[in-house]
Structure 1
Amino acid sequence: MGRPEAQSEAHGAGRTSPGAGSLAHRVPDLGALELLLAVARLGSLGAAAREVGITQPAASSRIRSMERQLGVALVDRSPRGSRLTDTGVLVTDWARRVVEAAEAFDAGAQALRDRRDSRLRVAASMTIAEYLLPGWLLALRAGRPDTAVSLLAGNSAAVAERLLSDEADLGFVEGLTVPAGLDSVVVAHDHLVVVTAPGHPWARRRRPLPAAELAATPLVLREKGSGTRQVLDAALGGLARPLIELSSTTAVKASAVGGAGPAVLSELAVGEELATRRLVSVPVDGVRLRRDLRAVWRTGHRPAGPARELLGLTRKSPKGR
């Protein structure tokens, strides 16, 4: 015959301790606790149901479910109304503290959202920053006039650095690839065009320029790391030859207008100059100069608040199709 202690241990081996399992399965949810508090305050299950916005049968069912979950009776029901049991009074005191803590939690979360929504930091490569973002930000301001927006313009590599160092909430790039550590979505499409001043011999060509001649000619170019340069280098097999390297679209365009040499720029950037004949577009044969414009953000940090709204606006824009 075994020891009593051993028999007791064996008898209790299959039992589950009162504290076992997830707290969420052992503690009523906030809706049930708020209903219990309403019953205590109003003395009527029907009035409590109306206050929390449910039917009386649903309220009765929720109270019964809470009683089964806790294993104690909470409410005495009678034709004269509903009255808390002595145990119900004690549970109600605990419920009040839980609800107050939840209200404090909710207020803190709202404060965090308000702080997030009060500002938006955008980093964008030069073409997008100059020719697309102003319209998107104007539309965002119409819906969020109190959100302060800061714009950091640079090349695509600089945009990635800003995002990865948490100096920007949302970025826009023009390159062929998405830098490591970032997620992306295409928001617009763009074409690069070869342009030159009207006095350049290419401006009088009757046939498209061969790709080999473009690759062999020194050009006014954006710096390495820019989306425009990435697309051109890829199209020419890395053979683009710089006559001058400049760090902004405006500077490249001004140099081309001034006759420094041919340049390759976004069609978004040269529309006015082509219309007024300050620049001439030169067709090129055998190269693909189309690119996707992308919104980017840190992997695992999907845009929220103003950043999410701005992202939505880019998808609605006619230029984003």
Structure 2
Amino acid sequence: MPLPPTVADLTSFDLLLSVARLGSVGRAAAAHGISQPAASSRLRQLERRLALTLLDRSPRGSTLTETGALIADWARAAVEAADALGAGISALRASRHSRLTVAASQTVAEYLLPAWLVALHAGNPGLSVTLRALNSADVADRVLSGEADVGFVEGPAVPSGLDSAVVGADRLTVIVAPGHPWSRRRRGITAAELAATPLVSREAGSGTRGALEAALGSAPAAVLELSSTTAIKHAVAAGNAPGVVSSLAIVAELAAGTLVAVPAADVPLQRRLHAVWPTGAQPAGPARDLLSIARRR
């Protein structure tokens, strides 16, 4: 229920307590960082609000009346409780700003976030960070539920309920084993061929799978559905089926010759990477700092 108007403003009661403790309005005003006239005005307003005389005023100074002393005793517990509440809130804010939980799709988590987090830690050496590598749908769920302070997704669209900012771009690449027939295709493959070919694929909810389906306008059949890019790379290298992964994930394999990139000229495989957070709630503290780093990189 709402507080009575007579006690809704504890600031004036706190000032009254300072007069009782310090012995004068002038010293109480100095303790509160206000002028003596301002302090006197607040105390007169308190007397009018309570319809009680709280101070005996004389040329030698002001002292509490019996009524004022009684009101001050009653107010002390309320003012101390308000101080404890304020201190608790400040402690919670400090604790929240010393920890950061990030949920990110696997490509961002494995190939981009490590460098971003190193830069973040350089400016926040006491910060504790937890990173969850998930598919894009699960990232959205974690952010919406409040289990993550900020998320990063790579799908073709930002899930509902989230605001977003573009933090980079990526390109999907068709990969095959060195002995696969496509590995010798100088002109690459067509969108129709890719759509008609069973692939080693990510699971439903993955940003990579969603981006590929959006690019092709349909969902290719899956030989295998795997939950990580690393698993897809190993499966493609060991078998006969192609896969589609982020270009960020295959730099070492292409250099070593364990995988071959296949051109797909008529397939729009570019995609944007987004930071996401709940609609209407701007990132704050370390989450805001991380977003700023991601945008710069």
Map residues 281-292 of structure 1 onto 2, 5 A cutoff: 281-292=261-272
Distance between the aligned counterparts of 1:216 and 1:155, measured in 2? 25
Asked if the contact 1:67/1:73 (under 8 Å) is kept, the reply is yes
Which deviations, in whole Å up to 9, do the C-alpha atoms of 1:26-58 show, x marking residues without a partner?
A: 325233222222222222222222111122232
Distance between the aligned counterparts of 2:66 and 2:57, measured in 1? 14
Asked if the contact 2:152/2:275 (under 8 Å) is kept, the reply is yes
Shift of the 80–41 alpha-carbon distance from structure 1 to 2, 3 Å rule, reads same
Asked if the contact 1:124/1:171 (under 8 Å) is kept, the reply is yes
Map residues 153-232 of structure 1 onto 2, 5 A cutoff: 153-163=133-143, 167-179=147-159, 182-189=161-168, 190-207=170-187, 209-232=189-212
Map residues 4-153 of structure 1 onto 2, 5 A cutoff: 23=3, 25-27=5-7, 29-113=9-93, 116=96, 119-153=99-133
Pairwise CA RMSD of aligned residues? 3.3
Number of aligned positions between the proteins: 296
Indicate the larger mover: 203-212 or 294-303. 294-303
Gap runs ≥5 in structure 1: 1-20
Q: Runs of 4+ in structure 1 displaced over 6 angstroms?
A: 299-302
Distance between the aligned counterparts of 2:209 and 2:288, measured in 1? 25
Asked if the contact 1:121/1:149 (under 8 Å) is kept, the reply is yes
Pairing partner for 2:287 from 297, 310, 314 = 310
Q: Secondary structure at the match of 2:286?
A: helix
Asked if the contact 2:177/2:236 (under 8 Å) is kept, the reply is yes
Asked if the contact 1:140/1:310 (under 8 Å) is kept, the reply is no
Asked if the contact 2:144/2:162 (under 8 Å) is kept, the reply is no
Whichever residue aligns with residue 314 of structure 1, its letter is L
Greater Rg over alpha carbons, structure: 1
Amino-acid identity (%): 57
Query: Offset at 1:170?
Result: 4.0
* 1:8 corresponding residue in structure 2: none
Q: TM-score, normalised by structure 1?
A: 0.76
Asked if the contact 2:100/2:287 (under 8 Å) is kept, the reply is no
Indicate the larger mover: 83-92 or 258-267. 258-267
Which deviations, in whole Å up to 9, do the C-alpha atoms of 1:174-220 show, x marking residues without a partner?
A: 2234445x423135232222233455444444435321122123332
Q: TM-score, normalised by structure 2?
A: 0.81
Query: Offset at 1:137?
Result: 3.1
Map residues 246-261 of structure 1 onto 2, 5 A cutoff: 246-258=226-238, 260-261=240-241
